[in-house]
């Protein structure tokens, strides 16, 4: 199945979930749980926590499916946002410091060897984002990637990069502004 058909099928399944169809939720889970588990695991760094949060993610999908709008977000970015928000909330609630994680780990590039199933189609937005990130200073794009992938706070990012908090905020904020200008072009 090509990426477009896959995306349409997933969107249709989410719409059926909104109507209370549990089998459709099972389908969404089968299609996306490996990706979302990867996202949760990356942020939480601990399997049992990530498993628990993953359950919350799909229960949230069940509850919020009616708010999914195909015209606004692709199904997978909508799901990834839920997985990230749930993981980050869990992380902040636990208050654990993750000083051991190196910031460089976040700069890694997508593995081109991923199978089609693993490379969930994120679409044109993703290619555009990659181009726009390349226009940023390296320290800006590195910090933005690390924040997104690992859920680091400004404080954690500043400590890891060994720069004052204000400097890190400035890097990221200026990076985000440039990114928005580029993404809206």
Partner 1 sequence: MSDEDTIGGDDRHDLTAAEYALGVLGAEDRRAVEFRMASEPKFAAEVAFWETRLGGLAEAVPAVVPPTKVWAGIEDRLSASLSPPRERTGFWNSLAFWRTFAIASAGLASASMAGLVYLAQIPSLGPPLLATLDEQSGQPGFLAAANPADGTVTVVPAALLTGALQQSYELWVIPPGGKPHSLGLVDPKRSVKVVVPPELLPHVSADSTLAISIEPVGGSPTGQPTGPVIANGKLASL
Considering only residues 42 through 71, tell me which ones interact with partner 1, judged by CB under 8 A. 42, 50-51, 54-56, 58-59, 62-64, 66-67, 69
**Torsion over CA of 78, 83, 86 and 90, rounded to 10 degrees?**
-160
- Which residue in the set 96, 102, 116, 117 belongs to the binding site for partner 1 (CB under 8 A)? 117
- CB atoms under 10 Å from CB of 139, counted, come to 15
Q: Does 93 bind partner 1 (CB under 8 A)?
A: yes
Which residues 128-167 are close enough to bind partner 1 by CB under 8 A? 128-130, 144-145, 147-149, 151-155, 157, 166
Stretch that binds partner 1, among 4-12, 33-41, 96-104 (CB under 8 A): 33-41
Q: Shortest CA distance to 83 belongs to which of 26, 149, 37?
A: 37
Q: Report in angstroms the alpha-carbon separations of 10 from 13, 69, 149, 164, 179.
A: 5, 12, 23, 44, 28
Q: How many residues form the binding site for partner 1 (CB under 8 A)?
A: 81
Nearer to partner 1, 5 or 81 (CB): 81
Closest distance to partner 1 from the beta carbon of 107 (Å): 9
Distance of CA 86 to the CA centre of its chain: 11
Closest distance to partner 1 from the beta carbon of 15 (Å): 11
Nearer to partner 1, 8 or 62 (CB): 62
Residues whose CB falls within 8 Å of the CB of residue 181, separated by 6 or more in sequence, listed in order: none
């Amino acid at each position: 199945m090509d990426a477009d058909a896959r995306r349409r099928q997933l969107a249709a399944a989410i719409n059926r979930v909104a109507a209370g169809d549990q089998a459709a939720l099972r389908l969404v889970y089968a299609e996306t749980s490996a990706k979302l588990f990867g996202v949760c695991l990356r942020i939480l760094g601990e399997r049992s926590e990530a498993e628990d949060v993953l359950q919350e993610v799909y229960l949230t999908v069940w509850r919020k499916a009616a708010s999914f709008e195909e015209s606004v977000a692709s199904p997978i970015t909508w799901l990834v946002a839920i997985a990230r928000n749930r993981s980050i909330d869990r992380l902040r609630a636990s208050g654990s410091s993750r000083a051991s994680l190196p910031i460089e780990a976040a700069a890694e590039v997508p593995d081109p060897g991923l199978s089609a199933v693993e490379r969930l189609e994120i679409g044109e937005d993703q290619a555009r984002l990659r181009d726009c990130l390349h226009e940023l200073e390296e320290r800006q794009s590195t910090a933005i990637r690390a924040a997104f992938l690992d859920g680091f706070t400004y404080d954690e990012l500043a400590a890891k990069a060994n720069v004052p908090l204000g400097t890190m905020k400035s890097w990221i904020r200026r990076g985000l502004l440039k990114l928005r200008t580029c993404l809206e072009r």
